């Protein structure tokens, strides 16, 4: 596996590609809230897919990883711009088949950008890992627990992740303005842990009811981060099998 770092505008990106062969297929991997393109899930996905001739592209959202923007520049709109700029870059590389693998908030963004991704990529395969299909509720009830008063008073709060993350009211307003828990009329794979207390089972059940063409893989006893023994392996295996089936 060979790794290359590059920028698309202000967006830091990375591609992991097979060694010694030309990749004919590609996956865009999208990290979650507070994560980065160096997430353990994306690294595991790259290790699994690159030997199969599949390149894995990933990037940092604004206010995450190495992205130079933060503060009030972290909005749904700037995250959408980053994702779609990567999608257009991958399109221009002219891969035969493309998929998207998105985690948590990344899943929210993939759903929010569904039309833009389809315009850029055509008929792409989609895998959602613990997708935050009701991200506004998740942010308000879980991520910002205990800090809502400060948010209302100051207009922003700082959260303790690998990179301290400022969340401004404009970001939450964007989440509330763009509901993604709705029908899409397309196939996709949803992977969810049965003990996920961040993206709760009722959120996933509501999404699945509205999307009968979506498939659900449940990982027993897994929480939101799939940190239990063998749980991440199960996620990667499910995604790998789904991409293999759709790619043929």
- Cα(13)–Cα(37) distance, rounded to whole angstroms? 7
Percent residues over pLDDT 70 in the chain: 100
pLDDT at 146 over 90: no
Of 66, 65, 91, 60, the residue nearest 78 (C-alpha): 60
Q: How high is the pLDDT of residue 132?
A: 98
Q: Is the pLDDT of residue 145 over 90?
A: no
- Confidence band of 152 (pLDDT split at 50, 70, 90): confident
CATH classification at residue 155: 3.40.50.1820
Which pLDDT score is estimated for 200? 96
Q: What's the angle, vertex CA 207, arms to CA 221 and CA 236, rounded to 5?
A: 45
Position 248 pLDDT exceeds 80: no
Domain of residue 35 covers 2-247
**Phi, psi (degrees; rounded to nearest 5) at 183:** -70, 145
In this prediction, residue 117 carries a pLDDT of 98
Q: Which residue has the higher pLDDT, 44 or 154?
A: 44
Tally the domains of the chain. 1
Mean pLDDT along residues 164-169: 94
Q: What is the pLDDT of residues 204-244, one digit of tens each?
A: 999 999 999 999 999 999 999 999 999 999 999 999 999 99
- Supply the pTM of this predicted model: 0.97
Q: Percentage of the chain with pLDDT > 90?
A: 92
Question: What backbone phi and psi angles, to 5 degrees, belong to 182?
Answer: -155, 170
In this prediction, residue 7 carries a pLDDT of 98
| pLDDT greater than 80 at residue 136 | yes
Backbone angles phi, psi at 138, to 5 degrees: -60, -45
Start-end of H helices in the chain: 40-49, 76-92, 105-112, 114-121, 135-138, 148-154, 169-177, 201-210, 231-247
Q: How far is residue 150's CA from residue 4's CA, in Å, rounded to a whole number?
A: 41
- For the cut 80, the answer to whether the pLDDT of residue 48 exceeds it is yes
Per-residue tokens: 205: 């059940």
| Sign, CA torsion 85/56/59/175 | positive
Check residue 181 and give its pLDDT: 98
Q: What share of the chain is helix, strand, coil (3-state, %, to 5)?
A: 40, 25, 35
Q: What is the pLDDT of residue 149?
A: 83
Q: What is the pLDDT of residues 184-214, one digit of tens each?
A: 999 999 999 999 999 999 999 999 999 999 9
Average pLDDT over residues 163-168: 94
- Tell me, what's the pLDDT at 151? 87
């Amino acid at each position: 596996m060979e790794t290359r770092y590059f920028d698309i505008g202000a967006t830091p990106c990375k591609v992991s590609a097979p060694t010694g062969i030309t990749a004919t297929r590609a996956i865009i991997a999208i990290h979650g809230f507070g994560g980065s393109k160096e997430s353990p899930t994306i690294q595991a996905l790259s290790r699994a897919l690159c030997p199969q001739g599949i390149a894995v592209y990933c990037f940092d959202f604004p206010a995450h990883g190495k992205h130079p923007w933060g503060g009030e520049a972290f909005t749904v709109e700037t995250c959408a711009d980053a994702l779609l700029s990567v999608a257009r870059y991958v399109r221009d590389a002219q891969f035969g088949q493309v998929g998207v693998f998105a985690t948590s908030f990344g899943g929210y963004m993939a759903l929010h950008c569904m039309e833009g991704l389809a315009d850029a990529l055509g008929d792409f395969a989609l895998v959602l890992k613990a997708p935050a299909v009701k991200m506004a509720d998740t942010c308000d009830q879980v991520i910002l627990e205990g800090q809502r008063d400060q948010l209302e008073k100051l207009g922003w709060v700082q959260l303790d992740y690998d990179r301290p993350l400022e969340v401004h009211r404009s970001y939450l307003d964007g989440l509330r303005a763009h509901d993604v828990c709705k029908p899409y009329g397309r196939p996709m794979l949803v992977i969810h842990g049965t003990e996920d207390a961040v993206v709760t089972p009722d959120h996933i059940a509501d999404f699945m009811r509205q999307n009968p063409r979506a498939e659900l893989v449940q990982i027993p006893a897994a929480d939101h981060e799939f940190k239990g023994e063998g749980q991440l392996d199960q996620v990667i295996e499910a995604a790998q099998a789904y991409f293999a089936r759709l790619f043929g």
